[in-house]
């Protein structure tokens, strides 16, 4: 999708609403991970009529810390330099080497590297790093809502990740009274990558019977 200089949850929720209209989808089951989870929650709270069920993967409807860590990752991604004419595997290896000093976790580096794409013979990041760095405070926060989302909701976290914790439960309960919170044992923040089979099972069990 095209990039926008505006990167708030309200703006991203509107993008999804426009997409649903374009696709002719009157009501959907919405699943989002991390920033996508906050976008999905925003949409469900703004337009509950559009969302039949909601799944938020490893993120709560609260402020997410630490900002400095993400800031460092974005700076590292911005500073990656790849000469033209390299093969995809060589380009990824070079980017991996350049990210390693800042992004120590190999799984996280692999996750970031999925965004390295070739455009007309040059390797670029497909994510809008400028907009992300300008809106980091918005991305880390969560908009204020007073009216809850009444539909069934699943918060699916990784047991090794801090992003859905017991201190978030009151706010989860306030905004999503029909919420079920589950943690997948042994998974970090990128739950669907770390424990794919268990992730799929949990999602399928939450879906309504066909």
Q: What pLDDT digit, counting tens, does each position of 59-83 carry?
A: 999 998 765 678 899 999 999 999 9
- If one counts every other C-beta atom within 10 angstroms of the C-beta of residue 86, the result is 17
d(CA 149, CA 174): 9
Query: What residues does each domain of the chain span?
Result: 9-64+141-206, 67-135
Using the structure block, give the residue that is written with the tokens 């004419």: 85
Q: What CATH number does the domain located at 9-64+141-206 have?
A: 3.40.50.1820
Q: What pLDDT digit, counting tens, does each position of 31-47 carry?
A: 999 999 999 999 999 99
CB 34 within 8 A of CB 57: yes
The pLDDT confidence band at residue 108, using thresholds 50, 70 and 90, is confident
Q: Please tell me the pTM assigned to this model.
A: 0.84
pLDDT at 99: 97
CB 135 within 8 A of CB 126: no
- 158 token code pair: 């990784």
Which residues are designated catalytic? 34, 130, 189
Which strands make up the sheet holding 153-158, listed edge to edge? 28-33, 51-57, 153-158, 179-184
């Amino acid at each position: 999708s095209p990039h926008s200089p505006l990167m708030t949850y309200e703006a991203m929720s509107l993008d999804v609403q426009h997409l649903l209209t374009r696709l002719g989808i009157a009501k959907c089951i919405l699943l989002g991970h991390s920033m996508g989870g906050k976008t999905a929650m925003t949409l469900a709270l703004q337009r509950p009529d559009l969302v039949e069920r909601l799944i938020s993967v490893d993120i709560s409807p609260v402020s997410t810390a630490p900002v400095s860590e993400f800031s460092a990752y974005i700076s590292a991604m911005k500073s990656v330099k790849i000469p033209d004419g390299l093969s995809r595997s060589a380009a990824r290896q070079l980017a991996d080497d350049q990210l390693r000093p800042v992004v120590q976790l190999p799984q996280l580096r692999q996750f970031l590297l999925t965004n390295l794409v070739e455009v007309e013979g040059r390797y670029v990041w497909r994510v809008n790093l400028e907009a992300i760095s300008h809106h980091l405070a918005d991305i880390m926060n969560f908009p204020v809502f007073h009216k809850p989302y009444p539909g069934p909701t699943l918060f699916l976290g990784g047991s090794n990740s801090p992003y859905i914790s017991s201190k978030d439960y009151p706010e989860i309960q306030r905004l999503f009274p029909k919420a079920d919170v589950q943690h997948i044992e042994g998974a970090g923040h990128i739950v669907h990558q770390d424990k794919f089979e268990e992730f799929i099972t949990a999602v399928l069990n939450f879906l309504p019977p066909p």
